[in-house]
Amino acid sequence: MRVVCHLEKYQPEARPLGIALGNFDGVHQGHLEIFKTLRGQLKTMNGAASALTFEEHPQRVLRHDKKPLLITSLYQKLGLLQEAGLDLCFVLKFTEEFSKKSAEEFVKGILIDRLKAKVVCMGFNARFGHDRTGDVGLMKQFSEIFSFQFFEVKPIEIDGATVSSGLIRKQISEGQLDVVTHALGRPYSLCGTVVPGSGRGNKIGFPTANLMPHSEIFPLEGVYAVLVDVIKDEVKPTAEGFHYRKKKLREGLRGVLNYGKRPTFKSDSEQASVLEVHLLDFHENLLGETLEIRFLKKIRKEEEFENVQALREQIQNDINRTRALFSSNSGLS
């Protein structure tokens, strides 16, 4: 996927350009509906489908007192946009200076004069321009003034609630993973780099890959059945940004993940929570690799055990239960 970070160096394509506007954190069902609408409108035009998003969440720049935790890192988001069938993505830096552009300056100066957009899609509640004065009604007016097609995408509702990144953040942190799966259209996942750990897993017979996470929001502490992909973010720099491709080196490895403070080991119990995953029937060294962890089912909450032997027995029970879940018709795949 073509990624443009420097608009001044962007060279418009010969084919018509369609743009989906939004931050797209999490790339949920509502976002996917925007992309579907955009691709549908461009099909007869043989146009290029793109997203325009920001490197930083705007609220993290404008509201220093309340910074939303991100569901997806930038590269994870790019991978999801690639999977959604987009041809390119504009990733802009959101600064206080940028935030002062009026709605008209944003539309005319960037979407029309710079990017030559022919089609624009955005969600029903999206905002743009200084003080968020731009909305779907104003974008409709601009489409008539500047001669481009505009499509508003209505909300997606699940169980009576409108799907949104803010609601999904809350549901993840509360452990409502089944609800999150429906809202995302896929299991909740996070990416992380495998880093050296304490080595205790090896010592008790269950080696783990310890993760330095790339995202910022996590489910409740506990033990989970997971699927793991070993991925590589292929980035080839260009004058305008880079070409990006998410490559899966290994896919669908089954595992048991623990997220917590490891209270059985007193020296760890006051430290920050850690992510560590034991892969079933996999023994290769993954140090330095990037893993994408898909959370499928919570096995149990984190517990403190009397001794290491009791912990070892419980881990074996967790592994047995996870194997049984994968072998049954429980929907884990």
Q: Are residues 67 and 148 in the same domain?
A: yes
Question: Is the model more confident about 59 or about 332?
Answer: 59
Q: Are residues 191 and 152 in the same domain?
A: no
Q: Is residue 103 a contact partner of residue 130, using CB atoms and an 8 Å limit?
A: yes
Q: Are residues 320 and 199 in the same domain?
A: yes
Q: Are residues 262 and 118 in the same domain?
A: no
Q: Are residues 313 and 205 in the same domain?
A: yes
Last residue of a domain, one of 108, 143, 158: 158
Q: Are residues 14 and 153 in the same domain?
A: yes
DSSP H or E run through 119: strand 117-123
60 within a domain of the structure (yes/no): yes
177 within a domain of the structure (yes/no): no
DSSP H or E run through 43: helix 29-43
Q: Is residue 47 a contact partner of residue 148, using CB atoms and an 8 Å limit?
A: no
Q: What CATH number is attached to the domain comprising 144?
A: 3.40.50.620
What angle, rounded to 10 degrees, do the helices at 165-173 and 177-184 form? 150
Q: Half-sphere exposure (CA, 13 Å, Cβ side) for 44?
A: 4
Measured at the alpha carbon of residue 211, what is the angle toward residues 208 and 1, in degrees to the nearest 5? Answer: 125
pTM, full prediction: 0.90
pLDDT digits (tens, 9 = 90+) for 129-184: 988 899 999 999 999 999 999 999 999 999 899 999 999 999 999 999 999 999 99
pLDDT digits (tens, 9 = 90+) for 249-284: 999 999 999 999 866 555 555 567 899 999 999 989
181 within a domain of the structure (yes/no): no
Residue 30, SS3 per DSSP: helix
Whole-number Cα distances in Å, 31 to 158, 183, 217? 14, 10, 19
How confident is the model over 185-189, as a mean pLDDT? 96
Q: Are residues 259 and 201 in the same domain?
A: yes
176 within a domain of the structure (yes/no): no
Provide φ and ψ at 58, rounded to 5°. -50, -40
What angle, rounded to 10 degrees, do the helices at 29-43 and 177-184 form? 10
How far the first Cα of the chain sits from its last, in Å, is: 28
Last residue of a domain, one of 143, 158, 173: 158
Cα–chain-centroid distance for residue 202?
A: 31
95 within a domain of the structure (yes/no): yes
pLDDT band at 314 (very low <50, low <70, confident <90, very high): very high
Q: How far apart are CA 139 and CA 165, in angstroms?
A: 22
Q: Are residues 65 and 146 in the same domain?
A: yes
Question: Is the model more confident about 67 or about 121?
Answer: 121
Q: Are residues 148 and 196 in the same domain?
A: no
126 within a domain of the structure (yes/no): yes
pLDDT digits (tens, 9 = 90+) for 21-56: 999 999 999 999 999 999 999 999 999 999 999 988
Last residue of a domain, one of 139, 158, 177: 158
Q: Is residue 253 a contact partner of residue 290, using CB atoms and an 8 Å limit?
A: no
86 within a domain of the structure (yes/no): yes
What pLDDT was estimated at residue 65?
Answer: 67
Residue type, 309: Q
In this structure, what is the dihedral angle of CA atoms 7, 104, 64, 163, given to the nearest 10 degrees? -90
Q: Are residues 215 and 309 in the same domain?
A: yes
Residue range(s) defining the domain that contains residue 220: 187-327
Q: Are residues 67 and 201 in the same domain?
A: no
Q: Half-sphere exposure (CA, 13 Å, Cβ side) for 113?
A: 8
Residue 16, SS3 per DSSP: coil
Q: How far apart are CA 174 and CA 166, in angstroms?
A: 13
DSSP H or E run through 175: none
DSSP one-letter code for 68? P
Query: CB neighbours of 74 closer than 8 A, spacing ≥ 6?
Result: 55, 91
Percent helix, strand, coil in the chain, to 5, is: 30, 30, 40
332 within a domain of the structure (yes/no): no
Q: How far apart are CA 279 and CA 257, in angstroms?
A: 8
Q: Are residues 91 and 193 in the same domain?
A: no
The total number of structural domains that make up the chain: 2
